[in-house]
Each structure stands twice: as C-alpha cells, then as structure tokens.
Amino acid sequence: MEIGTRDQRNGAMSQINVTPFVDVMLVLLIIFMVTAPMMQQGVQVNLPKTQAKSLSADQESVVVSIDRTGKVFINDKESSHDELASKLTAILAPREKKEVFLKADKDVPYGEVVKTMAEIKIAGIERLGMMTEPAGKR
C-alpha cells in the first residue's frame, strides 16, 4: 500500500494533516511580531522631539540613559559617571562594532549630557547615536 492513499477496507487516510499545525504557528508568529517591540524595557526618560529618521541596530544595543535627576544607566543598570568609561569598555570589548545609543531626558542640563558623551568617547566608542522621539509622537 502507498503512503497517502486510502485503505480499501475502512477508507482512512494514512497521511498526516499539517494544516492545523501551520495555522497555529502563523498565529504565534503574528503574536510575537506584535508583542516583541513592547518588550523593550529601560529607564523612563522624557526624550526631546525631532524629525530625524530612526537608526537600525544589528545586535543588541547598548543604551546609556540619563534620567531627570542626572543618574546614569547602562541599559537598565545604574552606574556612576566615574565608572561609565570602564564599564562600557568591558561591555563592548568582545564586539566588532563599538556603538552606543545615548538617551537623555530633555530636562537634563546640557553640561551633564556633554560630560556623559565625553566618558563614552574615553571608552573608545566609535559610534554614538542620540535617541529622540518622533516630533508627532506624544
């Protein structure tokens, strides 16, 4: 008897039906595509509004954040200004592309932002991206 043919006695099909499996997988794919952008966590900062285009990131990004009170964070972990360069050097040492994104609250004094940018430069970072919110977004 061939696979995929009907048995003469009871009329049962001997082939596996994969359609329900494919349907479930497509639904899960859509759910993950919708929820993945919402899973990004970080320090809450009030970003300035601009009309710049967004940048693409190849691997997991390193984000340095400065909140309203002037505290500095590397991704979600708090760091002091004194330790910032050494921590960034250690984090980015194994990476080919040395890039960091800086996210500062719009109420942080300009001097604090420049001081943080200088520490990032001391760490040997080749590329620095400034994160902002689109002008139309609230």
What is the bridge-based pairing of β-strands 77-79 and 72-74?
A: antiparallel
Quote the pLDDT of residue 47. Answer: 57
- Residue 55 neighbours by CB under 8 Å, 6+ apart: 101, 129
User: Would you say 92 and 123 are in contact if contact means Cβ atoms under 8 Å apart?
Assistant: yes
Quote the pLDDT of residue 58. Answer: 52
Summarize pLDDT for 51-70 with one digit per residue, the tens: 655 545 455 778 888 888 88
Q: pTM above the 0.75 mark?
A: no
Domains and CATH numbers, the chain: 49-134 (3.30.420.270)
pLDDT band of 40, cuts 50, 70, 90: low
Handedness of CA 76, 77, 81, 82 (dihedral sign): negative
pLDDT at 11 over 90: no
Quote the pLDDT of residue 70. Answer: 85
* Percent of residues, the chain, with pLDDT higher than 70: 71
Quote the pLDDT of residue 29. Answer: 92
Quote the pLDDT of residue 22. Answer: 92
Summarize pLDDT for 77-123 with one digit per residue, the tens: 888 878 888 888 888 888 878 888 888 888 888 888 888 888 888 88
User: Would you say 68 and 107 are in contact if contact means Cβ atoms under 8 Å apart?
Assistant: yes
**Mean pLDDT taken over the chain:** 78
